[in-house]
Structure 1
């Protein structure tokens, strides 16, 4: 018999829920503060997830046969790889960018995944807060960013059969609602889609539901996370860079933060297309026993939302 409560839970059958190394405190290919990759794979499966991302290139095995064997025997599949780019810097960075992207894209395609998440480079150092370059792009740099992203998307698609999803991110040039919409309006919708990270967008003052409702046809991928509004207020007031902000716990376990994920999930379901919804709770560094209980509770929470 269906209870009154369960009858109100929507069926979000177009969302493919997964998690990522980020949710285990993994930011680098190799770091003594991070759990070994075997433990990550064991625990992400134990927490109830089927899909994972590759994380920083070199953290998981880069031999495709080994990677497929290790994920397959745990019942896991790969949804995407991730790259960092500095395409606003123009043609001078293209060769180095493609060398990095092609390495990650090749491995991603070998796993059977069809998405490549593209994160813009930071304008200030993630650890020291040193300014790397101005926080705002010039008009010429915006043009280079748009044209370079389109060029990258076309080549990744034609060479590896992958679709790129550009990830707005704190402390990058694609961050606030104004900058995200400027980027979307400047790029070809047939080539360039967005990875909407609910936590980063909230961190930068954006409304994820409104973005989905306004630019739904451009949302190609989702990262699910929340921010702690009290910690965020202190971070913003103090001009704290993203890395130390994470250390302060600015990204928190759902449903303790913002944005509310239920409306975001409903809006994403309403797009009528299949979307990956990958949990990514930034927690670098963190104690090795901390991620699994959080990941398990988060998966249970998402199931209670219908996902």
Structure 2
């Protein structure tokens, strides 16, 4: 029996689903075209993407979104707290810019991505792929401090994004991160594709830690390619270029059970489609985005536009 009191999750999309990873890159789709195609694909919610890709003047950005009936769900910053106390200024400076802009447009979430141990530009190894106990401690303290600060300053919630080629990717690593952080200040942006990249069971995590799920990135990974990627120790940036993240229903995990489980926790949580497509042809994203939206709304009733 359908729960008529639960409208389901708000479904949106992000610049990442149009192949956007950087503020400026001539290979990426121009931001005006991105916004136009988001509207044409039938979405109403978007993320800010890399700061500087969309206009950073609040009035101009509000005008551009408003004339396309679009709204902002979150901004994104990058952190490296495991490296030491000097990383605080870098994280806070970004947060002041991103949260300062995003909150002017009504966004209440800050998606925080940890630095990767392997470069997201060329796949080069930058540091050890695992953390020692002291680095784990610094990581946790830094994120709790950031979460507390952005809530007090902006009323925003920090949503930590585990990531391929980062130090927090497997089920055990995500679980340790949750155990070492404070739910008042640090919760998860559960990226379904990145979590599946290392074999994580999204539903098991949701069921084990429902109070820590604050935001969703909806993404599928191609398991027919994944084990070759892991066996050959291929970098994430190279795997993306070869199409490791695929449009649904061609990969895992299934979206419907995840959307339904999270909507039962809190229907105000966002489900943002974020298919990693950096390096794609500029004509490729729009039809995929439109089909993905059709798939989501066709596979579950627990999804809504706005």
The bucket for the TM-score relative to the shorter chain is: over 0.9
TM-superposition CA deviations, 1:115-147 (whole Å, max 9, x none):
000000000112433221111111000000011
Alignment of 1:169-208 (within 5 A): 169-208=163-202
Query: For 1:242, which of 219, 228, 236 is the aligned residue?
Result: 236
CA shift at 1:265, angstroms? 1.2
SS at match of 2:86: helix
Q: For 1:28 and 1:50, locate their aligned partners in 2 and report how far apart those are by CA, in whole Å.
A: 22
SS at match of 2:239: helix
Match of residue 281 from structure 1: 275
**Counterpart check, 1:116 vs 2:120:** no
Match of residue 42 from structure 2: 48
Q: 1:224 to 1:9 in 2, by over 3 A?
A: farther
TM-superposition CA deviations, 1:158-197 (whole Å, max 9, x none):
1111111000000111110000000000011111110000
Structure 1 unaligned segments of length 5 or more: list them.
1-6
Q: For 1:290 and 1:11, locate their aligned partners in 2 and report how far apart those are by CA, in whole Å.
A: 38
- More divergent stretch after superposition (61-70 vs 230-239): 230-239
Alignment of 1:27-46 (within 5 A): 27-46=21-40
Alignment of 1:194-233 (within 5 A): 194-233=188-227
- TM-score scaled by length of structure 2: 0.95
Alignment of 1:124-139 (within 5 A): 124-139=118-133
Match of residue 61 from structure 1: 55
Query: For 2:294, which of 292, 300, 304 is the aligned residue?
Result: 300
**Counterpart check, 1:15 vs 2:9:** yes
Q: For 2:149 and 2:12, locate their aligned partners in 1 and report how far apart those are by CA, in whole Å.
A: 27
Q: 1:271 to 1:73 in 2, by over 3 A?
A: same
- More divergent stretch after superposition (201-210 vs 127-136): 127-136
Contact between 1:127 and 1:244, CA under 8 Å: does it hold in 2?
A: no
Q: For 1:286 and 1:274, locate their aligned partners in 2 and report how far apart those are by CA, in whole Å.
A: 32
Match of residue 264 from structure 1: 258
Contact between 1:80 and 1:117, CA under 8 Å: does it hold in 2?
A: yes
Q: For 1:12 and 1:298, locate their aligned partners in 2 and report how far apart those are by CA, in whole Å.
A: 22
- TM-score scaled by length of structure 1: 0.95
Contact between 1:153 and 1:163, CA under 8 Å: does it hold in 2?
A: yes
Q: For 2:289 and 2:233, locate their aligned partners in 1 and report how far apart those are by CA, in whole Å.
A: 29
CA shift at 1:8, angstroms? 8.5
Cα RMSD (Å): 1.5
- More divergent stretch after superposition (125-134 vs 114-123): 125-134
SS at match of 1:270: helix
Contact between 1:165 and 1:195, CA under 8 Å: does it hold in 2?
A: yes
